[in-house]
């Protein structure tokens, strides 16, 4: 008896049964069905995969998805690292406030946040009006319905997922090491490069994995802030189902996206715990 | 010293970037104009009145609340039971079930949405409350299992042994000892479940129908075509409910820590 009292394996199975049924019926079974559908193209079992992977238009979508995800990850880490570092250095009152600023967005729907960005980034929106009004630019910038808009919105939505694991990693570093490094005459940059950065690398890796993984499958933000030229894989899957009604093709594209996500998790699993990823997620 | 100033300036900017854009919909909802301009030139409550008067918008709000309430109950009960079950397993099974419940978290949501849509269409369940509640429950379960699992980890097993020694049966022990002690985890998980369901868009876009449609789906449909400050009202309602939930959750963790 290893658990919270009770009568062994039968009780454990009975307790897990309802949740397992939900996961089996609503998650596993539909995925298996979709997998089967990906081989049901009229032109032959592998035709959908050949089309999805071979067509230059679809290849453009893959490349765009990858470039957007990688850029979002890089920018998010670049902003998150100093933020996480500052979190460990500032006074308790400011830390509470800054923490609230990092955690607060996680409670707000991605749809609402993306809608806000639509209002802000518009041609005549407040950001363009301020920029033109201050004389910084002559013409309003086109910040919406292109990759710029997608990046601005996605980095903001995914930034908290980058800050939290890095903060946890920096927090675990023994401050004595930093004092020792500085006491031995290392410059701040040197201390950062040879002490802080290597010791916080696991946190950075977890953050990068999680942001990249979420970015790969992001739908709402790229669909609303992006344009036709910045189509991502999830937008493609949506249009294959809802506009072209091509189920085998949509299923094959879904499987490709899922395999990509699994590869990311698999590669990352060597050095970060997938559980830590899920725990950072709220 | 100047390094510190830079760091603080950078952090202030980051905080502003994270938080301020979220608030942009709120002033838009109090506009007196018939289009969205930020900040509005004149303020009024006309769009709130319009929202209240519009039966179709009201219905989406009611549907959202219904789905979220049902999801919360199902996910909290099934998730708590599952966490208790996992707690009784050996280390290897613990890992296996943990991974299984994490599946929906790491799978791209569009893939789950398309897969569910195919299945629900075949079963004639598209546009039903059942499909939405089941789908939202699947997404919310991992959070309940995780939250309750954390609470169970901190549980003093001697209390359970004491209760058993005094002759209490398993159900009685659960009701009078385990449940009160893990209540913060259960409530925390339930709040997550509610917010997850209330905010969920992608699965709902695929599973909603003309009569059963959640608030986020209606917002999504409107902002893809042409929107009025009415959408900002709907978004502000979503924002307010999420804030309330965050507050409840914060109070719960405070109490758990105290």
Cα separation, B69 vs B63, whole angstroms: 10
pLDDT in tens, A259-279: 999 898 888 776 666 555 555
String of DSSP letters for B58-94: HHHHHHHHHHHHHHHHHHHHHHHHHHHHHHHS-HHHH
Give the CA distances from residue B52 to residues B19, B29, B212, in Å, rounded to whole numbers and listed in that order.
28, 13, 19
* Interval A129-144 mean pLDDT: 89
- What's the pLDDT band for B235 if we cut at 50, 70, 90? very high
- What's the pLDDT band for A228 if we cut at 50, 70, 90? confident
Better-predicted residue by pLDDT, B128 or B6: B128
Chain B partners of A101 at a C-beta cutoff of 8 Å?
14-15, 18-19
| Cβ distance of B112 and A31 shorter than 8 Å | yes
Checking if the pLDDT of B144 tops 50, the result is: yes
Checking if the pLDDT of B119 tops 50, the result is: yes
- What's the pLDDT band for A69 if we cut at 50, 70, 90? very high
- Which residue of A98, A213, A254 is in closest CB contact with B111? A254
Assembly ipTM: 0.91
Return phi, psi of residue B45, to 5°: -105, 15
pLDDT in tens, A82-111: 999 888 888 889 899 999 999 889 899 999
pLDDT value, residue B216: 97
Give how far A127 is from chain B: nearest CA, Å. 10
CB pairs under 8 A between A and B: 269
Checking if the pLDDT of A3 tops 70, the result is: no
| Cβ distance of A3 and B38 shorter than 8 Å | no
Closest C-alpha among B218, B217, B193 to residue B204: B217
| Cβ distance of B14 and A159 shorter than 8 Å | yes
| Cβ distance of A19 and B110 shorter than 8 Å | no
| Cβ distance of A116 and B25 shorter than 8 Å | yes
Closest C-alpha among A201, A88, A217, A230 to residue A158: A217
User: What value does the mean pLDDT of chain B take?
Assistant: 91
**Which residue has 């390094």 as its token pair?**
B3
pLDDT value, residue B249: 83
A2, A5, A52, A219: best to mutate for the B interface, most B CBs within 10 A: A5
User: What value does the mean pLDDT of chain A take?
Assistant: 89
| Cβ distance of A27 and B103 shorter than 8 Å | yes
A22, A52, A227, A273: best to mutate for the B interface, most B CBs within 10 A: A22
Checking if the pLDDT of A149 tops 60, the result is: yes
H/E run at residue B230: helix B229-257
- What's the pLDDT band for B81 if we cut at 50, 70, 90? very high
Cα separation, A127 vs A141, whole angstroms: 9
* Interval B230-242 mean pLDDT: 95
- Which residue of B38, B77, B173 is in closest CB contact with A126? B38
Q: Which residues pair with B234 in a beta bridge?
A: none
Give how far A139 is from chain B: nearest CA, Å. 19
Q: Which residues pair with B43 in a beta bridge?
A: B31
A37, A100, A105, A115: best to mutate for the B interface, most B CBs within 10 A: A115
* Interval B13-27 mean pLDDT: 93
String of DSSP letters for A265-281: HHHHHTTS-HHHHHHH-
Cα separation, A279 vs A156, whole angstroms: 20
3-state secondary structure of B175: helix
**Cα B207 from chain centroid (whole Å):** 17
Give how far B53 is from chain A: nearest CA, Å. 22
| Cβ distance of A274 and B202 shorter than 8 Å | no
Cα separation, A147 vs B39, whole angstroms: 25
Give how far B145 is from chain A: nearest CA, Å. 9
pLDDT value, residue A174: 84
Give how far B196 is from chain A: nearest CA, Å. 9
Cα separation, A16 vs A20, whole angstroms: 6
pLDDT in tens, A4-42: 444 567 888 899 999 999 999 999 999 999 999 999 999
Is there a contact between B151 and B185 (Cβ–Cβ < 8 Å)? yes
Better-predicted residue by pLDDT, B257 or A99: A99
């Amino acid at each position: 008896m290893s658990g919270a009292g009770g009568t062994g394996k039968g009780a454990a199975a009975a307790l897990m049964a309802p949740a397992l049924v939900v996961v089996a019926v609503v998650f596993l079974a539909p995925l298996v069905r979709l997998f089967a559908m990906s081989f049901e193209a009229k032109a032959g079992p592998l035709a959908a995969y050949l089309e999805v992977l071979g067509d230059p238009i679809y290849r453009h979508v893959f490349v765009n998805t990858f470039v957007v995800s990688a850029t979002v990850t890089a920018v998010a880490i670049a902003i998150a690292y100093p933020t996480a570092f500052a979190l460990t250095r500032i006074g308790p009152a400011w830390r509470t406030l800054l923490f609230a600023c990092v955690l607060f967005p996680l409670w707000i729907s991605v749809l609402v946040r993306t809608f806000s960005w639509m209002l802000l980034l518009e041609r005549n929106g407040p950001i363009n009006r301020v920029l033109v009004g201050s004389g910084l630019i002559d013409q309003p910038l086109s910040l919406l319905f292109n990759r710029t808009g997608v990046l601005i919105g996605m980095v903001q939505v995914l930034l908290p997922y980058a800050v939290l694991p890095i903060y946890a990693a920096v927090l675990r570093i023994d401050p004595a090491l930093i004092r020792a490094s500085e006491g031995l005459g290392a410059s701040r940059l040197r201390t950062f490069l040879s002490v802080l950065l290597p010791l916080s690398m696991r946190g950075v890796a977890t953050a990068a994995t999680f942001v990249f993984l979420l970015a790969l499958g992001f739908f709402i933000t790229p669909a609303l802030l992006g344009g036709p030229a910045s189509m991502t894989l999830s937008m493609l899957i949506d249009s294959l189902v809802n506009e072209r009604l091509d189920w085998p093709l949509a299923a094959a594209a879904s499987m490709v996206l899922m395999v990509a996500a699994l590869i990311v998790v698999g590669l990352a699993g060597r050095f970060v715990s997938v559980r830590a990823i899920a725990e950072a997620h709220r | 010293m100047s390094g510190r100033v830079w760091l603080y300036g950078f952090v202030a900017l980051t905080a502003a970037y994270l938080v301020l854009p979220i608030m942009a919909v709120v002033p838009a909802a109090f506009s007196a104009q018939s289009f969205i301009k930020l900040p509005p030139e004149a303020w009024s409550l006309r769009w709130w009145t319009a929202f209240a008067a519009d039966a179709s918008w009201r219905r989406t709000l009611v549907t959202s609340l219904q789905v979220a309430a049902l999801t919360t109950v199902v996910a909290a009960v099934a998730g708590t039971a599952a966490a208790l079950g996992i707690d009784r397993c050996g280390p290897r099974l613990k890992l296996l079930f943990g991974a299984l419940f994490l599946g929906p978290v790491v799978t791209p949501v569009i893939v789950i949405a398309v897969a569910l849509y195919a299945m629900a269409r075949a079963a004639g369940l598209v546009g039903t409350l059942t499909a939405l509640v089941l789908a939202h429950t699947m997404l919310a379960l991992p959070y309940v299992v995780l939250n309750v699992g954390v609470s169970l980890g901190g549980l003093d097993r001697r209390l359970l042994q004491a209760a058993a020694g005094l002759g209490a049966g398993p159900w009685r022990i659960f009701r009078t000892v385990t449940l009160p002690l893990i209540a913060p985890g259960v409530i925390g998980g339930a709040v997550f479940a509610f917010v997850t369901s209330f905010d969920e868009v992608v699965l709902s876009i695929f599973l909603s129908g003309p009569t059963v449609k959640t608030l986020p789906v209606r917002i999504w449909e409107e902002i893809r075509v042409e929107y009025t400050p009415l959408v900002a009202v709907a978004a502000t309602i979503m924002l307010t409910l999420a804030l309330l939930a965050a507050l409840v959750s914060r109070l719960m963790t405070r109490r758990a820590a105290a």
